[in-house]
Structure 1
Amino acid sequence: MRIAAQVEVSEAQRKQLETWATSRTIAVRLAERAKMILLAAQGKMDKEIGAELGVWRGTVARWRARFIANGLAGIEQDEARPGRKPKISARKVKAIVALTTQQRPDNATHWSTRSMAAKAGVSAASVRRIWQAHGLKPHRVVSFKVSNDKHFTEKLEDIVGLYLNPPEHALVFSCDEKCQIQALDRTQPGLPLKPGRCQTMTHDYKRHGVTTLFAAMNTLDGSVIGQCMTKHRHQEWLRFLRQIDRSTPKDRELHLIADNYATHKHPNVQAWLAIHPRFHMHFTPTSASWLNMVERFFRDLSENQLRRSAFHSVPELVSTIEQYMERHNRDPKPFIWTAKASDILAKVTRARAKLNKMQSV
């Protein structure tokens, strides 16, 4: 009769095996293997251990041998299994990926799972699995715009420097206008949210006018100075600058970040700034509105308050915006800028290189 190899365990190994054997949080298979080794250390044979634990004795013999060869690591990891041979060859997968990324279907701008399945001679489910494995989403497109500002680097470093290392005894405000906010009213009343049904609203609407929100967000604490106006000219911008002047301590220098809109650089605005030296303007590069932190506040305003609402008049819309800003300022939270200027510049440089390469083809 064949005698099973003797299993010897150290005190440390015994403690670990006992912990695994009684644990309720580890995999059941590992707990079962630990019990096998503990029983084997007591001198029991594979057949006895199999009968006691309700497993095949060959299984006990395999884990006994692995423990003797590799210790605890031998039973902690499962054996590699070959798995089922793939029905679609690697060459076929490579061809589908190349077809997806380098060609277009004859009658569409992008591939669908069905059109690719018909072209490649496989099932739509197989195409879906291949796309998921390679991170391909032909149905999605992401918009972008690379700034061509000649002074992009200088402006980028200036603005990011204000975010990450603001001047002492000064306030930094991110300023912009959210233009043409429409007072939209739905043509029919929608149904409220209920279990099993989402909120409903009509796709068409009535226009009752527009307003423009001028906003300046304090980058230190996230509070917002805002004012709604009917037009978007340099006169309204000057009125808003005066509001910022009245709303901030007179002994503080003010650094305002704004975009390159002509309203912000009008001669009358320049003249007003000349007699108010505590105001310092910093302009974002062209096509780089994402550098202006107040855009995050505008996004939250749209998502949380405006997009699903219905307004019967412009005054109602303005009142809603003012109430939102008032509640926001009761407990403001700043947006934390984390991207370094060098990282942004490196990314923009790579994007420009790719664009130049594509244009030269």
Structure 2
Amino acid sequence: MRSAPPIVLTEQDRTRLEALAAAADAPARVAQRARIILLAAAGVQNQAIAPRLGIGRAQVARWRERYVQAGLAGILNDLPRGAPPVKVDVARMAVLTGTDGNGQPRAWGVQSLATELGVSPASVSRHRRAAGLVSGNMRRTGYLPPAPFTGGMAEIVALYVSAPEHALVLAFDGGEDQDSNAGALPRMCPAPAQQRSLTASLLTASLLTALRVLDGELAQAPSGSGRHRQWLAFLQEVDAATVPGRSLWVFADNHACHQHAEVQQWLERHPRITVQLAPSAASWLRTVQGFLRESRAGQAACRTRFPSGIPEALAAIEAARRSRGAVPYRWIRERAAARVTDARTPSGARRPVLPVVGTKVLPPHGTGQLMPREALMARLMQSRRHRCVVIQGQAGSGKTSVLVAWRKAMISFGYDVCWLSLSVEDNDPARFLDYLFASIAESAPTVAGKVQEVGAGHDGETLELRIIALVQELSRRTRDLVLMIDDLHHVSDSRILRALQLLLDYAPPQLHVAVASRTALELSMERLRLQNLLAEFDMRDLRFSPEESARFLLDRLGSITPADAAAMHELTDGWVAGLQLLAIGLRK
């Protein structure tokens, strides 16, 4: 008789499953799957789980096996239904139906093309209609490989989404006078190859994910005869915003709009623009992915530079998602220098930076001799590679003392560590950023200095620009930097939270952020959890164990019986402040 696979949950997985099962806003099917796994982990058999949840035994077994195979991701995603779709190699079909060496379209019948691709004629016809692959429509663009941006710097300058149409625009040239400060990475190879590769991989993954999410969340654009005019207006704006002498390469998939006579006539008059058409939206995304992959490979060999402008594009996409922007969605990158001018006062001088109180950027001195907590410190050291570490607990639970002890350990491991203590008065964007950059300047003065040059406005756009500049400067570091923020619960301004969200979403591998708060953070952490880049500690971790409580009381009182120490631990449930109050009362 086949037995169900056993399920053993870590404390972190159990907490997440319990949250999914109890969340009111979670999809019902996901909450049900979480309850299946929790019951299975408690030792309940499938035949007992099924009637308890009102579902079939086969369904219980299926999700149980999915969790064993793929973990939490296995129950968050739905299983595919129905027969698998017929797969047509649309990229190869595009090549076959492209132009020959004389610029003339190749003649392929539906039947011969179906035979060549190994699919039915109906599948070929369906995909050709969807992609707009009709005879004679390949006159100008063809299906070319991504341009070899060797010797110059490519940058992402525009994005167009009007489902089912998409376009990504790059500007490039072969010169050496471009401003590398706007890039996501340095011009040549000053940083280690592994560091450059990790940063480029993270930026690539973030951009592709953001494009998929944006495409799914924007409303479908209305069909009509005016869509080619919207596309032409976008190309004209991009052309006007790009400095003379630079070439533009457009990755697009809008065959019908692009092949309109007005668009083609305008492109003939603007030869610096080259359009590379993909057969479908999926193929367009693969084309973008392929270009970024080739750019990473060229950068690793120091032949080319990874395209700049990705952080700005990510910030713009996130802003569009939050505001549910208009369709079609258009973003055209502005030059950073122009933004710096706008962020300054009319005289050109930057806003004076607020004087920084020294206690803000240094850990508190009143922690005294810290009691060793080997188990908790071992877990924190295991989390030192995570992008974010969150310590949440009530007042008096020892959050600050834990951060101070971890800071000492991280410094001994060779990390640069900067500290920022917050209070109620710091819930102001300008004040918060001044203190944030002052804290970073304690360990990385060059980084903070360059970011301060961007400007000092605290409107949404300038805040995003300053965080993007910070991410770019930190990506150039060779040493890891840990930013510790204590008492983050004092911050509630939406602009500050937005800045912190951007910093966490696009932080380079060299940056690690540790925060302590009394309340749950008003930040989106789900993506970091799924990517295993987040470590979370709460009251269950901060409470003293019986042995730690006994050591703490012995240190405070000089002598105490094991029975009294156990009773006081039971009374306070290991709460540090409660133990301290009891010790003070007994000393009196």
TM-score (norm 1): 0.31
Question: For the pair shown, which has the larger CA radius of gyration, 1 or 2?
Answer: 1
TM-score (norm 2): 0.21
- Work out which structure has the larger RCO, using CA pairs closer than 8 Å and 6 or more positions apart in sequence: 1
